[in-house]
Structure 1
Amino acid sequence: MDPVGAQPLPPPAPFMLGCRECVRLLREVADTVAADTSCLAELHAVARHIVEDHPDQIPAAHTRDCDRCPAYAARNDGDPGQLWAEHRARDLFLPEAVARLL
């Protein structure tokens, strides 16, 4: 079961609606959820796009109810591969409970 399909997707961050690529990627997520198939690759694509094309929109580190942010913050090598940034970017288009799992 896909965790995203278990709850409705929240509205995306406003800046995303003004970006054609964000809209296209979000439609792909919606299509895969509607088809009841895994959308992990599509979620990764949205987060990666935000990191690469909208870095100023990435939220700050989570300060509560996140098991992943403290581990990322403790790393000595920064954020190789931008995985922490992608983790935080998911808050912009996923329910918090789901975003914090990835």
Structure 2
Amino acid sequence: MADDAVERPVPPPFMWGCGACVRSLLRLAGAWGAPGGCFWEQVQVARHLAEAHPDAVPAPHLEGCGVCPEYALRPDADTDVWAQHRARDLFLPPSVARLL
């Protein structure tokens, strides 16, 4: 996951105004290049966004996403996990964000 050639987006301003977002983003940044990766840090940021900032979570991806169509087809889809998937767009490049 530590591909320095992949440019990460600058998180939106509301995230910098939230102490929990900032702490999570800093943990993610510190783990980005770690040998063990940064999976759990990504999950932590996405979970916080879905729970604390649901209005900021992007709409389902209409193109280029193999995950959103699967969620859309399932009547029992876990909406929290789907929101976490979409929230990843706010702080990760699409090539990484749409892996989960």
TM score, norm. by length of structure 2: 0.91
> Runs of 5+ in structure 1 lacking a partner?
none
Percent identity of equivalent pairs:
51
> Runs of 5+ in structure 2 lacking a partner?
none
Q: Alpha-carbon deviation of 1:79? A: 2.2
TM score, norm. by length of structure 1: 0.89
Q: Secondary structure at the match of 1:63?
A: coil
- 1:94 match: 92
Judge conservation of contact 1:3–1:98 (CA < 8 Å) in 2.
no
Provide Cα deviations, 1:14-73, integer angstroms capped at 9, x if missing partner: 210110100000000011114343100000000000011001101000000000000000
Quick one: distance in 2 between partners of 1:31 and 1:3?
A: 11
RMSD of equivalent CA atoms: 1.6
Give the letter for the 1:97 counterpart: S
Give the letter for the 1:14 counterpart: P
Greater than 3 Å deviation, 4+ residue runs: 3-6, 34-37
